């Protein structure tokens, strides 16, 4: 499995607190079966924009530490970029700074204050500049998930979505779990990540969530495997188009909903 979203670089954000912790997080990921992990420190959160060479340099340090222990895992540079109008000042056309693993894919983060109309304009501008935006953990944005058809429309235009694996097990609350489940059932989960920040409750062992994700799939669907295939294409900088529904289907409620919702 490829972990698309992690905060394993020490001293960059609210993730790893030390080089020892960073190495332990990589060690934990490797031992659980993760083959690739992308370091995605927060960028533009509260206006703080770490220099891209600093992110690359810190990633290289961690790669060398992992290689010294002969850990069977590849570590890639990336970022989790808060999406607002300031983003357009440092995300330059044809640049690969702050992108995932040297690709044109860029992981974007929203806030609860993000307005859908503004988000749509910013996503469109990123696409015009040649980037492929990936929305980090949409299931956690309660304001946006009240209009899930907007996310589906953006995906039909080129947006991709990364869900936190822990959301499917309730690690981020019941509402995030319900949102993640709905996104999965609509085929809108393109990538998975741990969003790991430490060695404890938000760690790099993504495989602990595989059963929870598998239990939500229909018999002809394998979200876990498809996300791994998608992530491999991302690291190769290949363009792909997920199979999406034409419309968002609201969850049926009440007696009639339970009756007609039976499989």
Owner of token pair 């600093």: 54
Burial (CB count <10 Å: 0-12, 13-18, 19+), residue 24 = middle
pLDDT value of residue 134: 98
Task: Report the CATH fold assignment for 2-241.
Answer: TIM Barrel (3.20.20)
Which tokens belong to 25? 């997080």
Q: pTM of the predicted model, to two decimals?
A: 0.93
pLDDT value of residue 261: 43
For each of the chain's 263 residues, which pLDDT tens digit applies?
999 999 999 999 999 999 999 999 999 999 999 999 999 999 999 999 999 999 999 999 999 999 999 999 999 999 999 999 999 999 999 899 999 999 999 999 999 889 999 999 999 999 999 999 999 999 999 999 999 999 999 999 999 999 999 999 999 999 999 999 999 999 999 999 999 999 998 999 999 999 999 999 988 899 999 999 999 999 999 999 999 999 998 876 554 444 444 43
**CA-to-CA distance for 147 and 183, rounded, in angstroms?**
12
């Amino acid at each position: 499995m490829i972990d698309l979203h992690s905060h394993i670089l020490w001293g960059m954000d609210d993730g790893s607190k030390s080089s020892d912790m960073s190495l332990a997080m990589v060690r934990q990921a490797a031992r659980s079966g993760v083959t690739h992990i992308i370091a995605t420190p927060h960028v533009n959160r509260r206006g703080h924009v770490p220099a891209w060479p600093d992110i690359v340099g810190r990633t290289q340090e961690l790669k060398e530490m992992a290689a010294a222990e002969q850990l069977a895992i590849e570590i890639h540079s990336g970022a989790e970029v808060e999406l607002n109008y300031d983003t357009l000042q440092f995300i330059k056309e044809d640049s690969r700074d702050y992108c995932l693993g040297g690709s044109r894919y860029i992981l974007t983060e929203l806030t609860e204050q993000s307005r859908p109309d503004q988000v749509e304009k910013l996503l469109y501008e990123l696409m015009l500049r040649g980037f492929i935006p990936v929305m980090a953990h949409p299931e956690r944005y309660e304001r946006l998930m009240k209009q899930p058809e907007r996310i589906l429309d953006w995906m039909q235009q080129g947006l991709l979505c990364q869900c936190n694996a822990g959301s499917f097990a309730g690690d981020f609350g019941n509402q995030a779990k319900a949102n993640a489940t709905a996104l999965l059932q609509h085929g809108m989960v393109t990538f998975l990540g741990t969003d790991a920040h430490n060695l404890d409750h938000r760690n790099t062992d993504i495989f602990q969530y595989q059963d929870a994700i598998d239990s939500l799939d229909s018999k002809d669907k394998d979200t876990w495997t498809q996300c791994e295939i998608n992530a491999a294409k991302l690291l190769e900088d290949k363009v792909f188009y997920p199979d999406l529904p034409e419309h968002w289907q609201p969850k049926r409620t009440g007696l009639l909903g339970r009756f007609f919702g039976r499989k």
